[in-house]
């Protein structure tokens, strides 16, 4: 272990000690951004090498999350917008995703696909469905793989699913309009039944959520880092969680209401 690695390891252990006894985010969403830039800056001619480097790094991340006590991780691997990139890049990225999902299954993680599978090639969609079925009973941390995912598409799909559901029950539009509420739509999201993300991390310096978990992120804490995804380290995750722990989550309450609520606990 070199001097730099030793210093980072000591820093990570110090961060871990700082987290002890404090609230850990139950659900962490990660926008894995910067693979293409990492490849270019590394002098690689094929950006797919950056995607592969980023994919290989996923297994370290979920291991760190499990060690920290996180229960659910949602990883944005491919957006609906990404599908419009040059076909050669998309095809290479899909092969990398397929390989990654197979390895998640082999390692025994609980895998759940999150996205519009109908937008994906049949083979890719089937691999995701098979992964979900094969790992459904696996205990421990849940890994949501967001592939062919877009927040606006998810909400549209949820409404469409809700309408179909009520149509089969004979509910009229007028009747549905009278009873429709937030929970009805939430029950038809890709993440139905899961806790909303407490913390969303985006790498590579971009400071926006770019159509990621739009509905679920209503009260999520956002953390942005300049680090490109392939260079993201355990210390970066611990720093994000430590930053999260330093925030006062109000969920729409005023400071006075929050203080009063805390006093009743």
pLDDT band, residue 101 (cuts 50/70/90): very high
Residue bearing the bigger pLDDT, 248 or 78: 78
Q: How deeply is 263 buried, as exposed, middle or buried, from its count of CB atoms within 10 A (0-12, 13-18, 19+)?
A: exposed
Provide the mean pLDDT of the chain.
90
pLDDT digits (tens, 9 = 90+) for 193-248: 999 999 999 999 999 999 999 999 999 999 999 999 999 999 999 999 999 999 98
Residues 6+ apart with CB under 8 A from 198: 25, 26, 27, 28, 220, 221, 244, 249
Q: Is residue 93 over pLDDT 70?
A: yes
The answer on pLDDT for 263 being more than 60 is no
Give the model's confidence band at 20: pLDDT under 50 very low, under 70 low, under 90 confident, else very high: low
Confidence class of residue 264 from pLDDT cuts 50, 70 and 90?
Answer: very low
* Alpha carbons 179 and 168: distance in angstroms, whole number: 16
Confidence class for position 256, pLDDT limits 50, 70, 90: low
Nearest to 73 by CA among 195, 184, 223, 166: 195
Least confident of 35-44, 92-101, 176-185, 243-252: 243-252
Half-sphere exposure of 108 (CA within 13 A, CB side): 5
CA–CA dist 158, 153 (Å, integer): 8
The pLDDT tens digits of the residues spanning 25-77 come to: 999 999 999 999 999 999 998 999 999 999 999 999 999 999 999 999 999 99
Mean pLDDT of 94-122: 98
**CB atoms near residue 141 (< 10 Å):** 17
Cα 194 from Cα 176, distance rounded (Å): 24
Catalytic residues: 33, 82
Six-digit token string for 248: 């006062």
How far is the C-alpha of 106 from the C-alpha of 51, rounded, in Å? 20
**Rounded Cα–Cα distance for residues 211 and 82 (Å):** 12
Does residue 96 carry a pLDDT above 60?
A: yes
Per-residue pLDDT band for 265 (boundaries 50, 70, 90) equals very low
Q: Judging by beta carbons within 10 Å of its beta carbon (0-12, 13-18, 19+), is residue 37 exposed, middle or buried?
A: middle
- Angstrom distance (rounded) from CA 112 to CA 36: 26
The Cα-based distances of 198 to 27, 31, 70, 228 in angstroms read 6, 14, 10, 22
Q: What is the pLDDT of residue 15?
A: 54
The values of phi and psi at residue 29, to 5°, are: -100, 140
pLDDT score of 253 more than 90: no
Residues 77 and 142: beta-carbon distance below 8 Å = no
Asked if residues 128 and 189 have their Cβ atoms less than 8 Å apart, the reply is: no
Considering the entire predicted model, what is its pTM?
0.87
* 112-157 confidence digits (pLDDT tens): 999 999 999 999 999 999 999 999 999 999 999 999 999 999 999 9
pLDDT value, residue 12: 52
User: What is the rounded average pLDDT of the residues 84-92?
Assistant: 94
In this prediction, residue 235 carries a pLDDT of 96
CB neighbour burial string for 102-118, b if at least 16 within 10 angstroms, e if fewer: eebbeeebbbbbbbbbe
pLDDT for position 249: 74
- Give the contacts of 192 (CB within 8 A, at least 6 positions apart): 186
Cα torsion angle, 227, 230, 232, 233, sign: negative
């Amino acid at each position: 272990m070199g001097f730099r690695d030793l210093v980072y390891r000591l820093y990570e252990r110090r961060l871990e000690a700082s987290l002890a006894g404090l609230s850990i985010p139950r659900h962490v969403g990660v926008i894995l951004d910067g693979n293409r830039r990492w490849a270019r800056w590394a002098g690689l001619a094929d950006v797919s090498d950056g995607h592969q480097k980023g994919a290989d790094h996923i297994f370290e991340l979920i291991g760190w999350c499990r060690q920290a006590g996180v229960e659910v991780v949602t990883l944005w691997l491919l957006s609906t917008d990404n599908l419009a990139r040059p076909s050669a890049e998309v095809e290479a990225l899909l092969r990398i995703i397929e390989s990654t999902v197979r390895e998640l299954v082999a390692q025994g993680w609980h895998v759940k696909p999150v996205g519009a599978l109908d937008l994906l090639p049949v083979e890719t969609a089937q691999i995701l469905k098979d992964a979900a079925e094969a790992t459904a009973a696996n205990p421990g941390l849940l890994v949501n793989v967001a592939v062919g995912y877009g927040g606006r598409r998810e909400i549209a799909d949820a409404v469409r699913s809700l309408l179909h559901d009520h149509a089969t029950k004979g509910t009229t539009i007028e009747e549905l309009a009278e009873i429709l509420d937030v929970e009805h739509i939430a029950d038809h999201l890709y993440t139905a039944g899961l806790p909303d993300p407490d913390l969303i991390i985006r790498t590579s310096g971009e400071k926006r959520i770019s159509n990621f978990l739009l509905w679920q992120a209503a009260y999520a804490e956002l953390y942005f880092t300049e680090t490109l995804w392939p260079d993201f380290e355990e210390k970066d995750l611990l720093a994000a969680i430590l930053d999260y722990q330093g925030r006062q989550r109000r969920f729409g309450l005023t400071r006075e209401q929050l203080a009063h609520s805390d006093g009743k606990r």
